[in-house]
Amino acid sequence: MSYYDYMAPAKDGSEVSLKEYEGKVLLIVNTATGCGFTPQYEDLERIYAEYRDQGFEVLDFPCNQFANQAPESDEEIGQFCTLKFGTEFPQFKKIDVNGDNALQLFADLATEKPFEGFGKGIKNAALEKFTAANNKQFGDKAYIKWNFTKFLVDRSGKLVARFEPTASMADVEAAVKELL
């Protein structure tokens, strides 16, 4: 099965087939407006603007499952991203990425490429402890550890990489470039 075979909820509640993006490189991201990683929207938009004409898409899925960092409505989240970061990439309806109501797309992405840690350093170790406490409520369905986890899908619809929020955006961009 290809990741283009999935459906995702649009902001208006309709279902969008990811077949609309078939043949493109996808960076699928769960996001939040009030997170320490929220400034990554700027890098995501910059990378999107640089490579969209080469067949690249960022698919933005807001999520409020991590310390209530995206409490706004879908419309408010969209306005925030557009006004503060100038985002033009597709933004979907706010979803769950963990638990019984997790969007199947994220459950499957995270099952195929499981969490391997946030990296080294005191800040990353502290984040790992905080996320463990937050995600305890989801048990074995804690697929995603925090906001701004990114999944890179190639032009054939295959998952090739997972980037935790602590990953360098330069590394994310290099992986995108390699696939284009």
Domain holding 91, by residue range, is 3-179
Q: Which residues of the chain have pLDDT under 70?
A: none
Within 10 A of 49 (CB to CB), how many other CB atoms are there? 15
CATH of the domain at 46: 3.40.30.10
pLDDT the model gives residue 132: 86
The pLDDT, as a whole number, for residue 32 is 97
What is residue 59's predicted lDDT score, i.e. its pLDDT? 98
pLDDT on residue 31: 98
User: Could you tell me if 113 and 162 are in contact, meaning their C-beta atoms sit under 8 angstroms apart?
Assistant: yes
Question: In this predicted structure, what is the pLDDT of residue 119?
Answer: 86
* Tokens matching residue 27: 């960076």
- How distant, in Å, are the alpha carbons of 13, 23, 70, 92, 122 from that of 147? 22, 27, 10, 15, 19
pLDDT at residue number 1: 81
Q: Among the options 29, 35, 172, 179, which is catalytic?
A: 35
What's the pLDDT at 14?
95
Give me the number of domains the chain comprises: 1
CB 157 within 8 A of CB 3: yes
108 burial via Cβ count (<10 Å: 0-12, 13-18, 19+)? middle
Burial 79-103 (b: 16+ CB within 10 A, else e): ebbeeebebebbbbbbbbbbeeebb
63 is catalytic: no
